[in-house]
């Protein structure tokens, strides 16, 4: 059996980073991977400005009870006059700090009477001033090459005036589900049939990662059907993911068909539960990853083993999931010949280690464990683990988002 971590690093290295990049507008950039490291063009904020609605003064002019004539009302976006000695300038949040002023007194700490501001509470020098460059200095790195662009990165890029960015071409992924027992949701179902849940699930997982599902196909358990699906997928995809039909039953035809197509295939019995049979093949340079059919196995293998490959091929810098630690919270005992990736829900605990409660049913067909859980707790092979034990935790809710 292949060690889980070895399988993970082999898959992470089974594809090539992208070579094609293109320009895209910032409003099209969500979900794309940045192909160049970007730097700040200006200080942020670009000038000292006010953090409050209030009055700018020079602190040296302050004495208790003194009234400051209001020299200007300077709204956010207005140019400020230089502050004259003993005066104040009315400011609003985001107004620039006038030359000669160093302190903002918030309006609640005084009152304006007859165009003069009287201070009721002694100010602290420099208060409520957001200094130029307190956030970012011109020249600072703001977003690194290989970062998936999400709302936070878009805020950063927009604040620096970037209207276009260079991103990698989206990774084109093909998904193939297999099985004579499966029908598509929405179709009438006979008693021996089940709905195809892996197809929509994997498509959603791929799209969530910022890759593009160019084909979502289904093949019957026949060589002809599989052949025809593979020829469509291999003609237009950078990566092919198949699910089901990859064990050793007589209807498990995915492996022989890949062989007939000239693909070189490794069938791994990965030391993980759920998800033991995983196959990796290459047709030319296109990786083909074959996942087990049970929905929870397909979900786990995708999360832990396929997402690193996708991330590598997307050009992302972080490719393997973060591992945290948590404490099992259960009255059960877990022990298996393979590393067991339990579906657990993590809850905050005051001792600093999350409390990890396993779902009641841990079978590889228990789809209801997936929307319930927040991640996987890893119980190492041939190890008895019980409530209170510290285990590795893979937070898939965040990893897959
Ligand atoms: P297989 O690996 O093809 O033997 O499938 C293992 C189990 O997963 C069987 O119970 C299948 O019915 C089920 N399964 C396979 N593919 C899917 C799918 N796309 N959606 C839901 N269940 C599936
Ligand atoms: Mg099958």
Give every strand in the sheet of 88-91, ordered side by side: 103-106, 54-57, 88-91, 67-74, 116-119, 110-113
Is the overall model pTM greater than 0.85, yes or no?
Answer: yes
Domain with CATH 3.40.980.10 in the chain: 4-19+170-314
Question: What tokens does 76 get?
Answer: 């956010």
Q: What angle do CA 112, 115, 119 make, to 5 degrees?
A: 35
Q: Ligand 1, residues 294, 299, 366: which to mutate, most atoms within 8 A of Cβ? A: 294
Q: Looking at domain 4-19+170-314, which CATH architecture does it have?
A: 3-Layer(aba) Sandwich (3.40)
- Among residues 314, 338, 327, which one has the least CA distance to residue 390? 327
Q: State the Cα torsion 229-235-237-238 to the nearest 10°.
A: 130
Give the pLDDT of residue 276: 86
User: CA 79 to CA 154: how far, in whole Å?
Assistant: 28
User: Ligand 2 centre from 297 Cα, in Å?
Assistant: 13
Domain with CATH 2.40.340.10 in the chain: 324-399
Average of per-residue pLDDT across 118-132? 97
Confidence of residue 141 (pLDDT cuts 50, 70, 90): very high
User: Ligand 2 centre from 370 Cα, in Å?
Assistant: 21
Confidence of residue 145 (pLDDT cuts 50, 70, 90): very high
Least distant ligand from the CA of 184? 1
Cβ–ligand 1 distance for 275 under 6 Å, the answer no
Average of per-residue pLDDT across 355-365? 97
Across the chain, what does the average pLDDT equal? 96
10 Å CB burial of residue 22 (0-12, 13-18, 19+) is exposed
Least distant ligand from the CA of 242? 1
CATH superfamily membership of 49-130: Molybdopterin biosynthesis moea protein, domain 3. (2.170.190.11)
CATH superfamily membership of 324-399: MoeA, C-terminal, domain IV (2.40.340.10)
Confidence of residue 262 (pLDDT cuts 50, 70, 90): confident
Give the pLDDT of residue 249: 85
Domain with CATH 3.90.105.10 in the chain: 25-40+141-168
Give the pLDDT of residue 248: 82
How many Cβ atoms sit within 10 Å of the Cβ of residue 349?
13
Instruction: Print burial letters for 115-152: b (CB count within 10 Å at least 16), e (below 16).
Output: eebebeeebeeebbbbebbeebeeeeebbebbbbbeee
User: Ligand 1 centre from 168 Cα, in Å?
Assistant: 34
Average of per-residue pLDDT across 87-105? 98
Q: Are 112 and 70 in contact (CB under 8 A)?
A: yes
Q: How many helices (H) and strands (E) does the chain have?
A: 9, 28
Average of per-residue pLDDT across 228-245? 97
| CATH 3.40.50.1970 corresponds to the domain 25-40+141-168 | no
- Among residues 64, 100, 96, 95, which one has the least CA distance to residue 82? 100
Atom of ligand 1 nearest to the CA of 197: 20
For 39-48, 116-125, 261-270, which range has the lowest pLDDT when averaged over its residues?
Answer: 261-270
Give the pLDDT of residue 107: 97
**pLDDT of 267 above 80:** no
User: Ligand 1 centre from 389 Cα, in Å?
Assistant: 33
* Ligand 1 atom 15, closest CA: 293
3-class SS of residue 317: coil
């Amino acid at each position: 059996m292949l060690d889980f971590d070895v399988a993970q690093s082999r898959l992470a290295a089974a594809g090539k980073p992208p070579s094609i990049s293109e320009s895209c507008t910032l409003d099209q950039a969500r979900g794309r991977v940045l192909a160049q490291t970007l730097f700040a063009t200006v200080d942020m904020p670009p000038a000292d400005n006010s953090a409050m609605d209030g009055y700018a003064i020079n602190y040296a002019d302050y004495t208790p009870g003194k009234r400051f004539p209001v020299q200007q009302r300077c709204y956010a976006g207005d140019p400020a006059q230089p502050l004259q000695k003993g005066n104040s300038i009315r400011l609003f949040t985001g107004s620039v700090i006038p030359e000669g002023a160093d302190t903002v007194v918030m309006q609640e700490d005084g009152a304006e009477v007859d165009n003069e501001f009287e201070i009721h509470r002694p100010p602290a020098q420099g208060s409520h001033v957001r200094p130029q460059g307190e956030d970012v200095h011109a020249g600072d790195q703001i977003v690194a090459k290989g970062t998936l662009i999400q709302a936070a990165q878009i805020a950063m890029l927009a604040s620096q005036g970037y209207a276009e960015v260079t991103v990698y071409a989206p990774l084109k992924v093909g998904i193939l589900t297999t099985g004579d027992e499966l029908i598509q949701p929405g179709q009438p179902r006979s008693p021996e049939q089940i709905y195809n849940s892996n197809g929509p699930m994997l498509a959603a997982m791929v799209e969530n990662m910022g890759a593009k599902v160019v084909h979502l196909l289904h093949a019957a358990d026949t060589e002809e059907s599989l052949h025809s699906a593979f020829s469509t997928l291999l003609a237009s995809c950078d990566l092919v993911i198949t699910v089901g039909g990859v064990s050793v039953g007589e209807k498990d035809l995915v492996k022989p068909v890949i062989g007939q197509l000239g693909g070189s295939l490794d069938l791994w019995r990965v030391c993980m539960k759920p998800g033991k049979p995983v196959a990796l093949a290459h047709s030319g340079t296109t990786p083909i990853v074959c996942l087990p059919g049970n929905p929870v196995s397909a979900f786990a293998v995708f999360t832990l083993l396929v997402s690193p490959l996708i991330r590598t091929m997307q050009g992302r810098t972080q490719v393997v999931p973060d591992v945290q630690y948590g404490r099992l919270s259960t009255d059960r005992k877990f022990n298996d010949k393979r590393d067991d990736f339990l579906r657990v829900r993590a809850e905050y605990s005051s001792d600093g280690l999350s409390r990890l409660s396993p779902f009641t049913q841990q079978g590889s067909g228990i789809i209801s464990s997936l929307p319930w859980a927040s991640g996987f707790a890893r119980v190492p092979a041939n190890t008895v683990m019980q409530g209170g034990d510290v285990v590795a935790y893979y937070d898939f809710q965040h990893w897959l988002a």
